[in-house]
Amino acid sequence: MGTTVFERRRPTDAVIDESLRGTAFGVFWLDDVERPRHPSLSGHVTADLVVVGGGYTGLWTAIRAKERHPERRVVLLEASRVSWAASGRNGGFCEASLTHGHENGLNRWPEEIDRLEAMGLENLDGIETAVGRYDMKADFERTGQLSVAVEPHQVEWYRDEPGFLDREAVQAEVHSDTFLAGSWDREGCAMVHPAKLGMELARVALDLGVEIHEHSLVRGVEGDGSGPITVVTEGGRVTADAVALGTNVFPSLLKRNRLMTVPVYDYVLMTEPLSSEQLASIGWSNRQGLADSANQFHYYRLTADDRILFGGYDAIYHFGGKVRPEYEDRMASHRRLASHFFTTFPQLEGLRFTHRWAGAIDSSSRFCAFFGTARKGRVAYATGFTGLGVGAARFAADVMLDKLSGVETERTELRMVREKPIPFPPEPAAAIGINLVRAAMNQADHNEGKRNLFLKALDAVGMGFDS
């Protein structure tokens, strides 16, 4: 097999060690915001809608429910703190895509892809409108996303795309000798501060009359759907006409969904703020989100105070599919990211990282969210965003509310919304299969992107993915 640019141009261990010296193990975004506290649930209350989960999916569901019916009582339950998990620690790429990219959507729902992409843009427009209407301070910048080729064979993947940039043009946008070509999608992505967005969504929800309860872990959902449903926590109960589940990477409250997602850990670094001279050395004046083109890809973006977030590449699954804090501290992955960062931007040697962290992604076998109902239509769920949920969570909220209303809409009639992914097998087959996929994708990255028979077989049964 060949080598990748990140192996051919690896910086010295001294450069890596110095960049990570004194780095805090913690989420920069969550350290950068004030986090209001909300009381835990106590006693037995009634509501029209109870939302489980205080991340983007749950918060958008609560907001959209109140926008539809301001008079209804909406209660939101969060097991820990609002937006503490994926919604507070992601890269801040708010993308229009509802299908984890054009190719994934085209391969699965070719007859719907044009409408799905139009609806995705409408959804992103709706987020931008809401940010303005409610004066959300979320560092929202609709700068688009620049996808770049870092190996010669990847250049041809972009040549026929709208927004194609050759080597000279891509270098004019961002100065990295590793960038050989690219494509700039100017409309389909916005940058946000993830934790600020979460806090602002919670503020808006409260202003609209939503009741938010933190530290209210849901232990069960009672009722067969012939009447109201009761959601049970350690400290109380909520009986409601309808329930919306936005628990994502955490174990589903519905047994039918226990094997539909697996947690895969993604790792991130954040630099100190760049000086004006350092910024000038890399260009990047248009502040697009960046992503390279390998199966094991990196994503990177600028913050409002001119730090660089650099994440991705490693995607680690742990046997048993558990979500545990100790899985977040993996120095091997953070060292690898630091190495790849200085391969990308050698002119920034001497820059240090202030934060390192990780988070679990709710991965489904179709690589984008899926939807459904239970308990005779009184319980709705959306999960399996596979790392692209910042924007799609709002669409998912509308799907759940449509389904709970019992009325067919343009959203609920989509085949993409009606179909379910293939479940993952139980252990040990899950761990074996996931790690085989990861190894095969790494092999493809070292072999000019050529997919082996194993990946082609997965493609054939609908479980393949080409990032």
Torsion angle, alpha carbons of 45, 48, 54, 55, to 10: 170
Distance CA 446, CA 75 (A): 50
Q: Residue 394 corresponds to which tokens in the numbers above? A: 């709002």
The size of the chain, in residues, is 467
Given a contact cutoff of 8 angstroms between Cβ atoms, the answer to whether 216 and 78 are in contact is yes
For 88-113, the pLDDT digits (tens) are 999 999 999 999 999 999 999 999 99
pLDDT digits (tens, 9 = 90+) for 107-141: 999 999 999 999 999 999 999 999 999 999 999 99
Question: How many CB atoms within 10 Å of residue 253?
Answer: 20
Pick the closest to residue 147 from 293, 339, 319 (CA basis): 293
Q: What is the pLDDT of residue 187?
A: 96
| Higher pLDDT pick, 455 / 371 | 371
What is the model's pLDDT at position 463? Answer: 63
In the prediction, which pLDDT does 275 show? 98
Spatial distance between the Cα atoms of 396 and 409, rounded to a whole number of angstroms = 13
Q: How confident is the model at residue 444 (pLDDT cuts 50, 70, 90)?
A: confident
pLDDT digits (tens, 9 = 90+) for 208-223: 999 999 999 999 999 9
What are the pLDDT digits (tens) for 10-57? 999 999 999 999 999 999 999 999 999 999 999 999 999 999 999 999
pLDDT tens-digit series, residues 254-300: 999 999 999 999 999 999 999 999 999 999 999 999 999 988 999 99
| Confidence label for 451 from pLDDT (cuts 50, 70 and 90) | confident
In the block, tokens 């688009």 appear at: 144
Kindly report the number of other CB atoms within 10 A of residue 456's CB atom: 11
> How far, in Å, CA of 424 to CA of 422, rounded?
7
Per-residue pLDDT reduced to its tens digit, 164-220 = 999 999 999 999 999 999 999 999 999 999 999 999 999 999 999 999 999 999 999
Residues 55 and 198: beta-carbon distance below 8 Å = yes
